[in-house]
Amino acid sequence: MDEYMSAPRVWGLMCPGSREEVTRARRWTRDILSNHPCADDAELIVSELGSNALTHTASGTPYGTFQLTLSLSLRTVAISVTDEGGHPEEPHSTEADPDDTHGRGLTIVMALARRLDITGGQYGRTVTAQLVAPEAGATTC
């Protein structure tokens, strides 16, 4: 029977389009990844990608939603946030002025993640950030 079992584990969470849901998504991520070396980075990425979905897409409308998926294998954590679209441009990093209070989210995600993939289009996109746990003795993802 073991030959049919996969090592990766996958969790999903559907979030209504309100700011409070980003906090819930962070807690949910923290609970799943408790004691994992990438837990802090994953929690921050969930916060940034969830906030971006609410700010820049139809996910932030009164009946909007975004979906969060966590995939965990031996050393890899993949965090995917799927929005409801409504924005014709693909997400991209920007250079924020020092006094700006926003505009750094995707840049932060790109700095933390080993890999970043963006799929979909104006009718819904999925942004996936991949973290890799450190080798024994190393301290950062």
Dist CA 87 CA 132 (whole Å): 30
3-state secondary structure of 64: coil
Mean pLDDT within 107-119: 93
Helices (H), 33-66: 39-56
Each residue's pLDDT tens digit, 48-57: 999 999 999 9
Give the residues across from 117 on adjacent strands.
128
Global pTM reads 0.85
Domains of the chain: 9-87+98-132 (3.30.565.10)
Q: Which residues of 32-62 are buried (b: 16+ CB within 10 A; e: fewer)?
A: bbeebbbbebbbbbbbbbbbbbbebbbbbee
pLDDT of residue 106: 86
Each residue's pLDDT tens digit, 58-94: 999 999 999 999 999 888 999 999 999 987 666 655 6
C-alpha 14: how far from chain center: 13
pLDDT of residue 87: 73
Residue 6 has pLDDT above 70, yes or no: no
Each residue's pLDDT tens digit, 16-49: 999 999 999 999 999 999 989 999 999 999 999 9
Smallest CA-to-CA distance from 54 within 33, 32, 23 is with: 23
pLDDT of residue 72: 94
